[in-house]
Structure 1
Amino acid sequence: MSAAEEEKGRQNARSLKLLTLNTWGLKYLSKFRKERLQAIADRLSSPASAGDEYDIVALQEIWCDEDWQYIKKKCQSAFPYTRKFMSGIISGPGLVVLSRVPIESTFLYRFPINGRASAFFRGDWYVGKSIAVTLLRPHYPGAIPIALLNSHMHAPYGRGDSSYSCHRACQAWDFTKIVSALQKAGYAIIQVGDLNSRPGSLPYKLFTITAGLVDSWNMCQTDAEKRMSFREELATMDPKDQVLIGGVTCDSQLNTWRAHRKRADACRLDYAFIDPSTVHPFDAKVVFTERLPPPFNCSYSDHFGYSVEFNVAYEDGYTHDHSISTVDKLSVLKELLAEIERYRSHTIPYQANWRKFHFLLSIVLVIAIHVGITFAANRRGYAAVLLLFASTVIGITGVVNGLIWFLGVRSESRALVEVQLEVEDSFVATKDE
């Protein structure tokens, strides 16, 4: 065996394989939730083939404790090191890490800008979307320790204001700061999860230009044809090619939970961004595309999984080299500042003004109703009951909207100002480089 072959064998022996998967674990809302998550745990604990064996697993949307307890118990022999991140008003961010590599330490960073408190029916704000940081010990002597950043960013719910593009952009900005700090601390960065951002979007550019990370899918596609990933290119492909060539993980017609979507809706939202100075991916695949056996005959989740196999550099054999042009960095920062300014000048005033108006109008109406109850009761006995009921409803909704205006909208506005100031500082510093 040649020296080159021996070295390749040593690298393969030291390689790690990672899986990221959004499990769609919403209680009451996700169909066959319990059965699907148990099937995922069974597959992770007892892989049918070598292709299903993973060293590190990052899951999203594990929101039910019974699902987590099953996964943890079922996978304890295959993955002795586990962590579920708990912070959040209702059930936590739903982020889980399973690992064969020993965990050194963990911490959770909750996004300060994460939807609006008024959008209780969407839930992003209440679950506390976050970045779950897991610091792993070196998996072989001399290797750089890995910092795994697992996240599930704010979801889009429509066009315009409902897209929450500003919130995701600000969350991506937070990512860049944490990545920078961990790089300076000497960690090999791997950023994974359902980031709810298409390739080429502003968050994507913040990851790849501002933070200097690289999309592992693109790095593993040596064929120029397989580098196609943008929406207009994906829309022309067959659904199978969308997965195989475009790396589609969401809204694929091959997914039973999304089979009704248009072919043009298919997109790539699940990623593994890596620091190319320290992490060297050599194989990437879209996985968990199969269906559960009868009687379910459904996909494992409404997302497909994403898997990447990689090597980590030696501790004394690397240098950080992020050759991103200053012009590109400034362009992305300008785009982020424009996104924040649009939200602050349109959405924030709209939300603040109508909620404040509703609150003040409610006070006037409640006083007027209490005055009018006496006169109404003299004419119709039941009128007093109806007016009291109306007064209660108006009073409660008015107070709630008043609190959202005074606490929620004002807090969101200040958090946006803080991000804007941070970006402006970075813009000046980049310009002076």
Structure 2
Amino acid sequence: MSVVGDIYDVKFLTFNTWGLKFVSKHRKERLRAIADKLAGKSAAIPLPGSETLRSDECELEDDYDVVALQEIWCKSDWDYIVSRCHQKYPYYRIFYSGILAGPGLAILSKIPIESTFLYRFPINGRPSAFFRGDWYVGKSVSITLLKPLSKSTYPLAILNSHMHAPYALKGDAAYHCHRSCQAWDFSKIANLYKKAGYAVVIVGDLNSRPGSLPHQFLTKETGLVDSWEQLHGEQDLQLISRMDPHDQIRLGGTTCDSILNTWRAQRRPDEACRLDYALVDPERLETVQARVKFTEQIPNVGSFSDHFAYNCTLRLLPKSESQPKNPPKRDLLLDKLANYEEMLQVLAKYRRVSKWQKLWRGTHFWLSVLIIIIIHVVTTFTSNRAGWSSVFWVFFATFMAVTGLIDGLISFLFGRSEIRALEEVSQEVRDSRREIQETLENKL
């Protein structure tokens, strides 16, 4: 943290570390290398031709004030990070709430932590998609409130998240509705802390491209701005997709699916995108520097993660005397209204999917009950003619009982809960739409 007079600059880093146990390649070596680099002791080598990505202040490149991490899912990895970085980052926290694992969110800070809080998203994938795991880890927003740096600046509220991943560009596997609902809740939380007088910073792997509906909710609903765009201006995504991979990082801030990342080298160059963000309150924070970091490679391993990290330096603006806020502009209200209409369509479309899932799983449960009864009757007759058939019917009955019970529980418990959660979001969006419509009518 740099201080010049009453001007405070805070250096942030957000990094998806790809720390899945048994799944992520070279997890232990990479997480330890990340900890070593954060501690200022790295043996990583720069990418060939990456001179333009390097800072002139080499000795300060990895000297951050706040580090927000995602996908920290192994306690041994976190213990190593804490022990390695304790002197540099004496304040730290990992968040635990989840079903099989925590949300993977953690924070390291040079600034004292005042309090923390975790909000778990109620709409977050399905338990039947066990091979994806989003539902089981309990995707969340971790809120970390830092102690004020001075009486003349706003205290910082760091909202760190790793939203539901897309597993396809379109269709049910894209989980577009889930991320949109998560961003809707996320924006409500950010607004609460803004109203409470905090300088809000949303960081993390939001799994949403610039301009997408989740990104729109996190910016237009909150008044926050993308720190990269605050510094560099609005980005032309089509132009960035055609750039040289090094320029995609340097000029486009791409952190994901770059072919320069050894774990994503088989991707097409135009698939590189920006999914890792720092969204900031422009009335209380100003971006003075932003770049993609952790682009180096670990000898004999590869890149630090399947994402690159994102770093920005934020200047805390002095408190101003409270003034009545100007009413939102008509164009902004129209943009919000368009987002609400799109959201209602997304919710309606996915609600049909959710109801179908609940119906066929419930049907499978009752069919399983019927089939098990039939098996008991059939076994009585077949066992007299072929004793070995009883073994087959026992295995078949067991299979039907297990799968039917699982689908029954998903249908009766999860299915009902998801449909009600979707309806809740739908009502909230309608309430906001009604208020915007009344405001627009009054302006006429």
Secondary structure, counterpart of 2:264 in structure 1: coil
Aligned mates of 1:128, 1:328 — CA distance in 2 = 31
> Does the Cα contact within 8 Å between 2:355 and 2:415 map onto a contact in 1?
no
Q: Which residue pairs with 1:163 in the alignment?
A: 174
Q: Take 1:295 and 1:330, find their aligned partners in 2: how far apart are those partners?
A: 52
- Aligned partners of 1:358 and 1:374: how far apart in 2? 24
1:235 aligned residue (235, 241, 258): 241
Residue of structure 2 equivalent to 1:46: 40
1:67 counterpart residue number:
77
How many Å apart are 1:122 and its aligned residue?
1.0
- Is the Cα–Cα contact under 8 Å of residues 355 and 419 in structure 2 kept in the other structure? no
Return the offset for 1:378. 1.6
1:295 Cα deviation (Å)?
2.5
Distance 1:321 1:406 in 2: 48
Matches of 1:326 and 1:335 in 2, distance apart?
14
Report the Cα distance in structure 1 between the residues aligned to 2:326 and 2:253, rounded to whole angstroms.
27
Q: How does 1:236-275 map to 2 (within 5 A)?
A: 236-275=242-281
- 1:145-171 deviations in whole A, cap 9, x for unaligned? 000000000001123001110000000
Question: In structure 1, what residue type is equivalent to 2:254?
Answer: V
Cα distance in structure 2, aligned partners of 1:9 and 1:98: 24
AA partner of residue 327 (structure 1): L
SS across alignment from 1:52: coil
Whether the aligned pair in 1 keeps the contact of 2:16 and 2:70 (CA below 8 Å) is yes
CA contact (8 A) 1:79 1:98 kept: yes
Deviation at 1:264, TM superposition (A): 2.0
CA drift at 1:348: 1.3
Aligned to 2:300: 295
In structure 2, the CA distance between the partners of 1:276 and 1:318, relative to structure 1 (3 Å rule), is farther
1:334 maps to 341
What is the one-letter code of the residue matched to 1:310?
A: L
Match of 1:309 in 2: 313
TM-aligned CA deviation for residue 193 of structure 1 = 0.2
Distance 1:377 1:247, change over 3 A: same
**Once the 2 structures are TM-superposed, how far is the Cα of residue 121 of structure 1 from its aligned partner?**
1.4
Aligned partner of 2:186 in structure 1 is 175
The residue type paired with residue 199 of structure 2 is A
Counterparts of residues 8-407 of structure 1 (less than 5 Å): 9-10=4-5, 14-46=8-40, 49-158=59-168, 159-221=170-232, 227-230=234-237, 232-292=238-298, 294-296=299-301, 298-316=302-320, 323=328, 325-345=332-352, 347-407=353-413
- Between 1:92-101 and 1:240-249, the stretch displaced more is 240-249
C-alpha deviations, 1:59-117, integer Å up to 9, x for none? 00000000000101111110111010110011200000100111110100000001112
- Secondary structure, aligned partner of 1:285: strand
TM-score by length of 1: 0.93
Higher mean Cα deviation, 40-49 or 158-167? 40-49
The equivalent residue for 1:3 is: none
Q: 1:20 to 1:11 in 2, by over 3 A?
A: farther
Q: What amino acid maps onto 1:112 in structure 2?
A: P
Task: After TM superposition, give the deviation of residue 407 of structure 1 in Å.
Answer: 0.5
Residue 349 (structure 1) shift = 2.3
Q: Alignment length, in residue pairs? A: 418
Give the superposition deviation at 1:321: 6.8
Residue in structure 2 matched with residue 4 of structure 1 by the alignment: none
| Distance 1:323-1:280 versus aligned 2 partners, 3 A rule | farther
CA distance in 1, matches of 2:326, 2:39: 38
Gap regions ≥5 residues in structure 2: 42-57, 440-444
Structure 2: distance between partners of 1:349 and 1:15: 50
Q: Distance in 1 between matches of 2:322 and 2:15?
A: 30
Offset, 1:322: 8.4
1:344 aligned partner, one-letter code: R
3-state SS, counterpart of residue 257 of structure 1: helix
Q: CA RMSD in A?
A: 1.7
Normalization by structure 2: what TM-score?
A: 0.91
Distance 1:97 1:111 in 2: 19
Paired amino acid for 1:386: F
Give the ranges of 4+ consecutive aligned residues of structure 1 lying more than 4 Å apart after TM superposition: 317-324
Contact 2:354 2:419 in 1 (8 A): yes
For 1:254 and 1:32, locate their aligned partners in 2 and report how far apart those are by CA, in whole Å: 18
Distance, in Å, in 2 between the alignment partners of 1:391 and 1:82 is: 51
Distance 1:321 1:66, change over 3 A: farther
Matched, 1:409 2:403: no
Percent of aligned pairs with the same amino acid: 52
Contact residue 212 and residue 322 of structure 1 kept, 8 A = no
The 8 Å contact of residues 277 and 321 in structure 1, kept in 2 or not, is answered as no
The whole-number CA distance in structure 2 between the counterparts of 1:127 and 1:141 is 39
Structure 2 Cα separation of the partners of residues 74 and 239 of structure 1: 33
State the alpha-carbon separation in 2 of the partners of residues 189 and 259 from structure 1.
Answer: 35
Task: Determine if contact 1:228/1:245 at 8 Å carries over to the other structure.
Answer: no
